[in-house]
Amino acid sequence: MNLSITPGINNVGAYINDIDLKILNKEQAKEIKNILNQFGVVFIKKQNLDPESYQKFAKDIGQPVVYPRLRGLDIKFPFINVIERKPSDKNLSFGSSWLHQDTSYLANDRPRYTMLMGIEIPSGQGNTIFSSGFNAYEKLPQDIKDKIKSATGVFSSAGPIAVTRLEREKEMGIKSSESMEAEHPIVKTVKGKKTLYVSPGHLIKIKNVKEEDAEYLKDYLIKHVNKEEFIFSYEWSKNDICLWDNLSILHMASEIKNCKRVMHRITIK
């Protein structure tokens, strides 16, 4: 590994140091993906990318996709979604209140990665909260690991997090589609490492466990991934980029009040 990295708080993710994404080469892009597989989320500071460079970096990682719930920046940059918080907004921030893994309610064609770039960052507000599915799985008691080894989660776009999505879609003039639902294994493996895939904002049921254990395990796992020891609250600066793997990292927005915050978001297969 040639790139310099610094692990994040609680060993959640890693900062990639001293890199300019505008002049990224193929070998560096491959190395970033390797770091991403190992740590789940990478933090790359002070990049100052224009939309063209930002969208190009996404293509170096994988195939950008049009997000089913949000509009693109414009015709030239359909993969870049503007996530804006206005001072006048009184509702919840998009994606707040519940840790989640993006689009877990989609089947096998769901995007693998999510990327955010800080465009306008309010002072002292607007952190993104990350939780490591790798670390959370590793610290599970063995009896829980045994109970969930073949468990399947039912994930719905109408899950607990739906209230924030509906508020933001209404604000942006987007008509919500019907709710979507998918099933996925609760335990996944990324490059030989097991991780929890529970997405509390979308998880509505656990299957393939003893019937009397299903509700208990759902509540247990949701509380488990929210434990402070697995959490890193990332404080944004303008032009920072965060890129994470939705198989191994859960995230949510922190509360934002009476200020403006603008992020550019891309989802990637």
Predicted confidence pLDDT, tens digits, the chain (269 residues): 589 999 999 999 999 999 999 999 999 999 999 999 999 999 999 998 999 999 999 999 999 998 766 677 888 898 999 988 888 876 655 555 789 999 899 998 888 999 999 999 998 888 999 999 999 999 999 999 999 999 999 999 888 887 655 454 555 455 555 788 999 999 999 999 999 999 999 999 999 999 999 999 999 999 999 999 999 999 999 999 999 999 999 999 888 888 899 999 999 99
Q: What is the pLDDT of residue 164?
A: 54
pTM equals 0.90
Q: What CATH number belongs to 4-268?
A: 3.60.130.10
Most distant CA pair in the chain: distance in Å? 55
Residues 6+ apart with CB under 8 A from 253: 93, 94, 95, 96, 126, 128, 129
Domain ranges of the chain: 4-268
- On the 0-12 / 13-18 / 19+ scale of CB atoms within 10 A, 218 is buried
Q: What is the pLDDT of residue 163?
A: 60
Residues 6+ apart with CB under 8 A from 105: 155, 156, 157, 159, 179, 180, 181, 182, 202
Q: What is the pLDDT of residue 91?
A: 62
Cα 163 to chain center, whole Å? 18
Q: What is the pLDDT of residue 162?
A: 75
Cα 34 to chain center, whole Å? 18
Q: What is the pLDDT of residue 175?
A: 54
